[in-house]
Chain A
Amino acid sequence: MTDNAVEAHGLVKEFGDVKALNGIDLVVPRGSVVGLLGPNGSGKTTTVRILATLLKATSGSAKVAGFDVRKQADDVRRSIGLTGQYAAVDEFLTGRENLRMFGGLYHLDANYVKTRSDELLEKFDLTDAANRPAKTYSGGMRRRLDLAASLIAKPGILFLDEPTTGLDPRSRIGLWNVITELVAEGTTVLLTTQYLDEADQLADDIVVIDHGRVIAHGTSGQLKDQIGGDRLEIVVQDEDQAASAITALAPLVSGEATIDGTHYSAPVAGGSPVLIEAVRALDSAGVGVADIGLRRPTLDDVFLSLTGHSAEEDQVPERPEPAERSRRGGRR
């Protein structure tokens, strides 16, 4: 066995005249979490579908768990779990029946499936709902059941295609916790997402794709460093004091400061201590401060600087804003 759970080289996929993938290279080391990040239509799902043997690539090659996706599809299927964009469970069957059905279709031992189903229901907090039809489940519960179904055969590799799209903030964080636990147990995860914070939160390595090409690759930190470090962001109380703020802070900043009304922004180096110095400098200059903070660049900034367009500009605004705000705030 190789050390890589997934290895793809030059994947190209054409649908008629449309080139959905334009030569994707991708490596997912065993035991890691790689986030495939890109806007709608960038080729994320197509990539996952090829790796999960649902689609055949027009050209290029890929190995999953050491098996060729084209020639050894059944071996690949035995090694992976796939959770797609929909909660693909039978609505009319109960949670438990769903798990047992999928266990049977993985050709697992019946007694093993029984034990494993109960174990998964317990783990995903579905024991109380186990005997209810899945259509009575909330969105978050369905996704958890869906994820449980892909774990019934204990696959070493998990493909999660936009696992939290359309979920409310609480369910979303719940699902993140579940995924984090699986990773801690040694599961390799390839995750696609259009939510930058999701990739930031879960992935060791992020592959940014756009128009069927990989346009950047690295850890979240590396990608952020590509576009520069922290920025000092201040809102002064009085617009007239903005000029004094620029003068007072000039020795601290590492580049050009900008002013937009009462909003001051400038790149800084040196992390949090700069914040204290800035407060002191403004205080002695007599500038009233309404808000002050150090802002780390987000992946959104990275995406904007890499592609010239925002990651989320064309999408339906389904994302749970409040949770995201509070989490980002926490890391400032």
Chain B
Amino acid sequence: MSAPAIQAQRPLLGWTVHDAVIIARATIAASFRVPEALFFQLIQPVIFVLLFAYVFGGAIPIPGAEPGTEADASLYRQYLMPGIFGQTVAFAAASSTVGLAEAMQRGIIDRYRALPMSQPAVLLGNTMANALRQILVLTVLSITGYIVGWRINDGIWNAILAYLLLLLFAYTVTWVGAFVGLSVPNTETANTAGLIWIFPLTFLSNAFVPLNALPGWLQWFAAFNPISSLVQATRELFGNPTGAPTDFWTLNNAALYTVISCVVVIAIFAPLAVRKYRTAASK
């Protein structure tokens, strides 16, 4: 045989980061290779904006304006956009679910497992990529929002904080998505299982209707739902209307509660997903 393969120098941050970046890069590159899929991924939240802004908008009263007036509709759009942001980043989880279920079914996970690479890097890279992809989604959404009358009212730095919070949340749910993707038996199941828990979670929140419009017991659930606190926090940071004030600590300290929830969820689901990866791939 000819000259042996030349090994690379161990990078400063170690192999896990190095390998995760390779996986993330490949995952992001791959998503741009299917423009149709990307288009529909972007169009879905845009449709939601239009639906809620123009169809349901008039039916959901926001304190501060006379119901049924143009001022009320405009206020609702201000109120709505952070809700759509929150819902959209929650769907980032589905990308990880489907992506990993496919990689498993196609034998790509087997190939990774036979490589001398960092194994958790496969999941780190995948979750990172799916969270980062939300930057594009949020950009398109923000522009759509601007067109229907949504505005950033509280300065650029708070807005950046709001976007960062949204990305942290996206990264968090991709770990849950990864765990689901590695738990389902095939890609067909992944397509439904990936979404089935996200829908109720996003609707049982303050994303589209003020908390006090929900029945009592649902208010409790919605108040502790991290999507509510995420949406509440981004409303505050963007300077958008927040609806009537509530007594829930989680919503009165929305940003803090969101960050705590994210940390807790990652601390639970990342190790679960890594363990699932090791056992599921060895069937």
CB distance from B200 to the nearest CB of A (A): 31
Contact B6 A108 (CB under 8 A): yes
Q: Find out whether the CB atom of A53 lies under 8 angstroms from the CB atom of B107.
A: no
Is the Cβ of A185 less than 8 Å from the Cβ of B116? no
A79-100 interface with B by 8 A CB criterion? 80, 82, 84-93, 97
How many residues on B have C-beta within 8 angstroms of the other chain's C-beta atoms? 33
B151 to chain A, nearest CB (A): 37
List B contacts of A110 (CB < 8 A).
Answer: 8
Interface string of B98-118 (1 = CB under 8 A from A): 000000001110111111110
Q: Residue of B at shortest CB range from A83?
A: B111
Q: Among A90, A108, A150, which residue has its beta carbon within 8 angstroms of that of B30?
A: A90
Contact mask for chain B residues 13-38; partner A; CB cutoff 8 A; 1 contact, 0 none: 00100110011001001110110000
Inter-chain contact A52/B106, CB cutoff 8 Å? no
Query: Bound complex: CA of A245 vs CA of B221, how far in Å?
Result: 91
A268 at the interface (CB under 8 A from B): no
Note all chain A residues with C-beta closer than 8 A to B1: 154, 156, 185-187
Q: Which of A54, A105, A111 contacts B282 (CB 8 A)?
A: A54
**Known interface pairs A92-B33, A93-B26, A93-B33; A106-B108 also in contact (CB < 8 Å):** no
B7 touches A107 (CB 8 A): yes
**Beyond A54-B281, A88-B111, is A107–B117 a contact (Cβ under 8 Å)?**
yes
Q: Does the CB pair A93–B30 fall under 8 Å? A: yes
Q: Does A74 contact B (CB under 8 A)?
A: yes
Q: Is the CB of A154 within 8 A of B30?
A: no
B4 touches A102 (CB 8 A): no
Q: Is the CB of B113 within 8 A of A106?
A: no
CB of A149 closer than 8 Å to a CB of B: yes
Residue of B nearest to A78 (CB): B116
* A97:B29 contact, CB within 8 angstroms: yes
Q: Which residues of the partner chain A approach B22 to less than 8 Å between Cβ atoms? A: 101, 104-105
Q: A residues within 8 A CB of B30?
A: 90-93
Q: Let me know if A90 and B108 touch, CB within 8 A.
A: yes
User: Which one, B7, B26, B107, contacts A85 given CB within 8 A?
Assistant: B107
Instruction: Pick from B2, B114, B116: contact of A107, CB below 8 A.
Output: B116
**A106 touching B117, Cβ below 8 Å:** yes
Interchain CB contact under 8 A, A108 and B7: yes
A153 on interface, CB distance cutoff 8 Å: yes
A231 at the interface (CB under 8 A from B): no
Question: A290 in the interface, Cβ–Cβ < 8 Å?
Answer: no
Find the residue from B4, B6, B30 having the highest chain A CB count within 10 A.
B6
B114 touches A52 (CB 8 A): yes
Cβ distance B53 to chain A, nearest Cβ, rounded Å: 34
B147 beta carbon closer than 8 Å to chain A: no
Considering only CB atoms, which chain B residue lies closest to A186 in the complex? B1
CA distance A75 to B282 in the complex (A): 19
In the complex, A153→B111 CA distance in Å?
14
Q: Which residues of A contact B33 (CB under 8 A)?
A: 92-93, 133
- A82-B107 Cα distance, complex, nearest whole Å: 11
In the docked arrangement, what's the CA distance between A101 and B20, Å?
11
B5 in contact (CB, < 8 A): yes
A90 touches B26 (CB 8 A): yes
With A90-B108, A93-B30 as contacts: A53 and B115 at CB distance below 8 Å: no
B111 CB contact (under 8 Å) in A82, A91, A156? A82
Q: Could you tell me the distance in whole angstroms from the C-beta of B197 to the nearest C-beta in chain A? A: 27
Q: Residue among B26, B117, B282 with the most chain A CB within 10 A?
A: B26
A88 to B183, CA, bound (A): 20
Interchain nearest-CB distance for B98 vs A (Å): 13
Which residues in A have their C-beta under 8 angstroms from that of B18? Answer: 104, 107
Closest B residue to A85 by beta carbon equals B107
Q: Nearest residue in A to B21 (C-beta to C-beta)? A: A104
**A132-159 interface code vs B (CB 8 A; 1 in, 0 out):** 0100000000000000011011101000
Given contacts A54-B282, A74-B116, A85-B107, A109 and B6 within 8 Å (CB-CB): yes
Q: Which of B5, B112, B282 has the most CB of A within 10 A?
A: B5
- Check A263 for interface membership: any CB of B closer than 8 A: no
How near does chain A come to B257, taking the closest CB pair, in angstroms? 38
Most buried by B among A92, A102, A133, A154: A92
With the chains together, A150 CA to B107 CA distance in Å?
A: 13
A residues within 8 A CB of B31? Answer: 92
* B residues near A153, Cβ cutoff 8 Å: 5
User: Complex: how many Å from CA A82 to CA B115?
Assistant: 9
The interface bits of chain A over 63-85 (1 if a CB of B lies within 8 angstroms of the residue's CB, else 0) are 00000000000110110101011
Name A54's contact: one of B10, B113, B117 (CB within 8 Å).
B113
B residues within 8 A CB of A49?
A: 282
Closest chain A CB from B38 CB (angstroms): 11
Contacts known (A106-B115, A154-B5, A186-B1); A55 close to B282, Cβ less than 8 A:
yes
Instruction: Known A54-B114, A85-B107, A93-B29; judge A105-B5 contact (CB<8 A).
Output: no
* 26 chain-A/chain-B pairs, Cβ below 8 angstroms: A52-B114, A53-B113, A54-B113, A77-B114, A77-B116, A84-B107, A85-B107, A87-B107, A90-B26, A92-B29, A92-B30, A92-B31, A97-B29, A102-B115, A104-B19, A105-B112, A107-B7, A107-B15, A108-B5, A109-B8, A110-B8, A149-B111, A154-B1, A154-B2, A154-B4, A187-B1
Q: Which residues of A contact B (CB under 8 A)?
A: 49, 52-56, 74-75, 77-78, 80, 82, 84-93, 97, 101-102, 104-112, 116, 133, 149-150, 152-154, 156, 185-187
B residues sitting closer than 8 Å to A (CB atoms) are: 1-2, 4-10, 15, 18-19, 22-23, 26, 29-31, 33-34, 106-108, 110-117, 281-282
| 4 further contact pairs, Cβ within 8 A, besides A54-B114, A54-B282, A93-B33 | A82-B111, A109-B8, A154-B4, A154-B5
